[in-house]
Amino acid sequence: MFSKKGEFRDGIYLLNHPEVPVYLIRGKKNYLIDAAFTFMAPNIVGELEELGVEPHYLLLTHSHYDHIGATPFIRKNFPEIKVVASRRTAEILAKPKAIELIKSLEKEAERSFGEVSDLEFQPFKIDIIVGEGDEIEEFSVLETPGHTRCSVSFVFPEKKIIFVGDAAGVIEEGHIRPQFLSSYDQYVASLQKILKYGDFSLALGHGGIIPEGREFLENSLKKTEEFRKEILEYYEKFGDMEKVARKIYREEYEGLGLKQPKEAYMINLRAMIKSALNS
């Protein structure tokens, strides 16, 4: 597992922070994948300037605040950059309520990282809307919903790497954590779709790059099924979603010592409980 800053191989870089990576591909063009938190923007831009890289594209895997935050500030520094995302991501970012939620989660994240920033998240325009099978320059697009309905993955066949955002789970404190927020069934189907690229490197939205994805993806599938089972068992026992949420919060969030903000964790957990009950 490559979970530090720097070059992974062949012009593929992990920038910013392994827990909230911004990936860079230097190919015929330069591509950034995801944009972390707003308050990390000066750091991201600084690293790009240090490398002397002008990015041509910024590919967004999904609309979550910890993947898009620095986008408007990256564009300010690199005005020619083209922002690429799914149609649903564009639709979500057009909603004032979503923008308010992103701003409030962003400020909570700042506090939990012990940062103070006077930057505030701003809505931005998507330049290129992509969907299943689209091919642009050196990458192609897979729709991989289930984490969110807006999730897409980006495949770079020549570099043998796939960027999946949170569609295949994340690694936190050394544990694989399932992320089926919008639909359990779609999440499993997306994991199986990504498994077709099992011999590619797998770049996660949190944790870093796995040199060859297959084993991780198989484990992630297993964990996903186990987590669903656990939720259903607790629900059977307690008959109440909020009690299930509190039980898992104590076991997982406190038990593993997760560092992500509690508010975001609880929003995601409640969504996963709903997905499991609807599966």
**Alpha-carbon Rg for the chain in angstroms:** 18
Residue 50: exposure state from Cβ atoms within 10 A (0-12, 13-18, ≥19): exposed
Residue closest to 63 by CA, chosen among 37, 83, 41, 92: 92
Closer to Zn ion at the Cβ: 30 or 151? 151
Please answer whether residues 178 and 204 qualify as being in contact, where contact means their C-beta atoms are separated by less than 8 angstroms.
Answer: no
Q: Is the dihedral of CA 84, 87, 93, 98 positive or negative?
A: negative
Q: What are phi and psi of 115, to 5 degrees?
A: -115, 155
Closer to Zn ion at the Cβ: 63 or 201? 63
Smallest separation (angstroms) from Zn ion to the CB of 170: 8
Smallest separation (angstroms) from Zn ion to the CB of 181: 7
Closer to Zn ion at the Cβ: 143 or 166? 166
Q: What is the DSSP letter of 2?
A: B
- Within residues 157-186, the interface with Zn ion by CB under 5 A covers 166
Number of residues interacting with Zn ion: please give it, by CB under 5 A: 2
Smallest separation (angstroms) from Zn ion to the CB of 175: 17
Closer to Zn ion at the Cβ: 110 or 166? 166
Round to whole Å and give the CA distance between 73 and 35.
Answer: 10
Smallest separation (angstroms) from Zn ion to the CB of 132: 19
Smallest separation (angstroms) from Zn ion to the CB of 254: 21
Residue 64 interacts with Zn ion (CB under 5 A): yes or no:
yes
Closer to Zn ion at the Cβ: 20 or 74? 20
For Zn ion, the binding residues (CB under 5 A) are: 64, 166
